[in-house]
Amino acid sequence: MPTRKATFGAAGWVNIDGMAQFVLSDRPCLLPKWYFMLSYAYYKHDVSPVPDHRYDEICRRLLERFDEIDDRLNLKRFVDTQALAAGTGYHLDFDRLPPDVVSGAEALIRLSQQGF
């Protein structure tokens, strides 16, 4: 996979994979949202904003820490842990996702298509 460009945002220079790594290491409460955003991008729009291994890592970490994650966004109710264990979001009903998750996914799609 080619190296992605970085973009300058409120937090400084970032790229999508770097943001995903930050969530993995420092913001476990955001794992459900990132799982849904990345699944939405891939399964609904055929866009992969992060490398496959990063998506797999998010699935693994979310499953490992599922019970202890503070679900402030109330997204865990949409997670099928068997599908998560298989590393897939194919089954998700994207029409039921909250608007902020969909808009976040669409932002990741736009950035990904621009090479970030």
The model's pLDDT over 63-106, given as tens digits with 9 standing for 90+, comes to: 999 999 888 888 988 999 999 999 999 999 999 999 999 999 99
Per-residue pLDDT band for 9 (boundaries 50, 70, 90) equals low
Domain annotation covers residue 17 = no
Name the 3-class secondary structure at 86: coil
Q: What's the structural domain count of the chain?
A: 1
Cα–Cα distance, 47 to 2 (Å, whole number): 15
* Both tokens assigned to 52: 């496959």
pTM for this model (two decimals):
0.86
> Does residue 21 lie in a domain region?
no
Structure tokens at 103: 């808009």
- Residues ≥6 apart with Cβ < 8 Å to 6: 13, 14, 15, 18, 116
Selected residue with higher pLDDT from 19 and 73: 19
Residue 64 lies in a domain: yes
Residue that wins the pLDDT comparison between 49 and 1? 49
> What's the domain range around 34?
28-113
Q: Which of 2-11, 31-40, 44-53, 57-66 has the lowest mean pLDDT?
A: 2-11
Cβ atoms 62, 8 nearer than 8 A: no
Classify residue 3: in a domain, yes or no.
no
Instruction: Tell the residue number behind the tokens 């998010």, with chain if given.
Output: 58
